[in-house]
Amino acid sequence: MSIGIDQACVQILDGPCTNMWTYGGTYPGLTIRRPTGQTTNVTFSNNLDPAVGALTVHNHGNHSSPENDGRPNEFLIGTGESRTYTYTGLEDGVNERGTMHFYHDHLMDVTGRNVWMGLAGLYIIDDPADPATLPSGAFDLPLAIADRQFDANNQTPYVFDPDGVTGDKILINGVYQPYFDVGDRKYRLRILNASNARIYNLTLSTGDSFIQIGTESGLLPAPVTRTEMRMGPAERLDVVVDFAGRLAQDVYLTDTLTGMQLLQFRVTQHLVDDSTIPPTLRSLPDIGEPTVTRTWDFDKTAGHWTINGLRFDPNRVDARPVLGTTEKWIFTNPTGRPHTVHIHDVAQQCLSRNGGPCYPYETMKETWYLDPSETLEVKLKFTDHIGMYMLHCHMIEHEDDGMMTQFEVIAPRAAPTPRPRPTPLPRPTP
């Protein structure tokens, strides 16, 4: 498929439309939805004003080879150019797990600006190995949450602030204060925090629970019941909400940190509910035990956001894990601000949080919430692709300010080949 990266004037608020940079003329961009295990080629064309410069598209959460990963400083899409990204839908010899990824621009130094201007869209992988009884079709709703600051003309000029750019209006799928007509039955909500830097704490106005069934990296081993869900930038929550018994009521998805009602569900019709949530969902893949340990401090150094004291430098590689091996990575946060740790290439499994157990809803992810003073241990196995991948904070202004680094997956050293032994020559007897 082909997606033009075009400037478009998008009607968001009453009054003037908002000039945005879009994937396919809409915000969020066109949703790509594919069965797992099928190769998908997406050609993006950079039709934006030359002043915007080159672009690069990262399929966040996907297991892509480096050339298809939307690297920040190479394999770029110059103005007027196109680039085709190939996603195989495979991981470690099997189909990628079903989940909702998202794709967004990742250009070095200006990712925050490019995403704020609109360059983000959803990428859903459907997996026939996942239970078919979960709510589906019209009862499966992707919800991208993003805040924006509008000026008097309804425009969203971007002003970089290393602490994070936020806005006072919160959009769901690009709509301000939306409502949705629903029936009194279960719905699956696939929630993405598509904001540059804002954190949400989601609840339902009724006090009802969410049943969390998945994360960025597919279904959980078993559902987890939660009444509130904190969510940092780029995290995803795959949840089921049951509106049974709420006929003729309004239920709001609420953010307790701002006190705002983000989305209104109007329960307007009675529907028979044929969906169920199985008590077990999907076991974790066995990725073995770690043989190497690395520590990454998400820090602030000399007034900038850093990892292990250093700002991003495209000419520096901070780790060279070996293809086919499993490593333990430890993340610390000595700063007074939360960060969301995102690792490209492969999903990670949680080993411990603050020396104790992980939250039951963070068994496997690729974007991790890290509060001040927290320590998180994960393990990850490098499969399929060698080459360069990113590791960074997904509060995008922290990333642009320097809280990003890269690692290179390298091929295992070939086993030493036995040298041919020269046939001993008979020596003259003295």
Q: What residues make contact with ligand C2O under the rule CB under 6 A?
A: 58, 60, 104, 106, 234, 342, 344, 390, 392, 394
Angstrom distance (rounded) from CA 418 to CA 396: 51
Task: Confirm or reject binding of residue 385 to Cu ion (CB under 5 A).
Answer: no
Q: In whole angstroms, how close is the CB of 334 to Cu ion at the nearest point?
A: 12
Q: CA-CA distances (angstroms) from residue 295 to 9, 307, 337, 374?
A: 45, 10, 19, 13
Closer residue to ligand C2O in complex, CB, 120/220: 120
The residue within the footprint of Cu ion, chosen from 5, 119, 358, 395 (CB under 5 A), is 395
Using the rule CB under 5 A, which residue among 339, 344, 353, 385 binds Cu ion? Answer: 339
Q: How far is the CB of 344 from ligand C2O (least distance, A)?
A: 6
Number of residues that bind Cu ion (CB under 5 A): 4
Element (H, E) at 266: strand 260-269
| Nearest to ligand C2O of 327, 345 (CB atom) | 345
Q: Are 120 and 28 in contact (CB under 8 A)?
A: yes
Q: Which stretch binds Cu ion (CB under 5 A): 63-71, 143-151, 194-202, 338-346?
A: 338-346
Nearest approach, Cβ of 245 to ligand C2O (angstroms)? Answer: 38
Interaction between residue 393 and Cu ion (CB under 5 A): yes
* Contacts for 371 with CB less than 8 Å, ≥ 6 apart: 333, 338
Name the H helices within 1-66.
Answer: none
Calpha distance 77→144 (Å, rounded):
25
Which of ligand C2O, Cu ion, none does residue 381 bind to, with CB < 5 to 8 Å depending on kind? Answer: none
Backbone region of residue 309 per phi and psi (left: phi > 0; alpha: psi in -120 to 50; beta: other values):
left
Residues 19 to 78: which contact Cu ion by CB under 5 A? none
Dist CA 333 CA 375 (whole Å): 7
Nearer of residues 333 and 340 to ligand C2O, judged by Cβ = 340
Note whether 25 and 47 are within 8 A (CB): no
For residue 58, the partner it binds in Cu ion, ligand C2O, none, with Cβ less than 5 to 8 A by kind, is ligand C2O
Q: Least separation, in Å, of the C-beta of 108 and ligand C2O?
A: 11
395 binds, among ligand C2O, Cu ion, none (CB under 5 to 8 A by kind): Cu ion
CB of 20 to Cu ion, least distance (A): 25
A 10 A CB-CB count for 290 gives 18
Two tokens at 354? 């603050």
Residue 120: both structure tokens together: 């983000």
CB of 210 to ligand C2O, least distance (A): 23
Instruction: Please identify, using beta-carbon distances, which residue of 188 and 300 lies nearer to Cu ion.
Output: 300
CB of 330 to Cu ion, least distance (A): 17
Q: What are phi and psi of 114, to 5 degrees?
A: -65, -40
Residues 6 or more apart from 77 whose CB is under 8 A from it? 5, 44, 45, 46, 54, 55, 56, 57, 83
Identify which range of 56-64, 103-111, 183-191, 336-344 contacts Cu ion by CB under 5 A: 336-344
Determine the Cα–Cα distance for residues 254 and 206; give it in Å rounded to an integer: 10
- Min CB(98)–ligand C2O separation in Å: 19
Element (H, E) at 227: none
Q: Token pair 């998400």 is at which residue? A: 298
The smaller minimum CB distance to ligand C2O, of residues 124 and 129, is found at 124
The token pair that represents 258 in the structure block: 């701002």
Binding partner at 344 among ligand C2O, Cu ion, none, C-beta below 5 to 8 Å by kind: ligand C2O
Query: Helix or strand or coil: residue 67?
Result: helix
Q: Which residues bind Cu ion (CB under 5 A)?
A: 339, 393, 395, 398
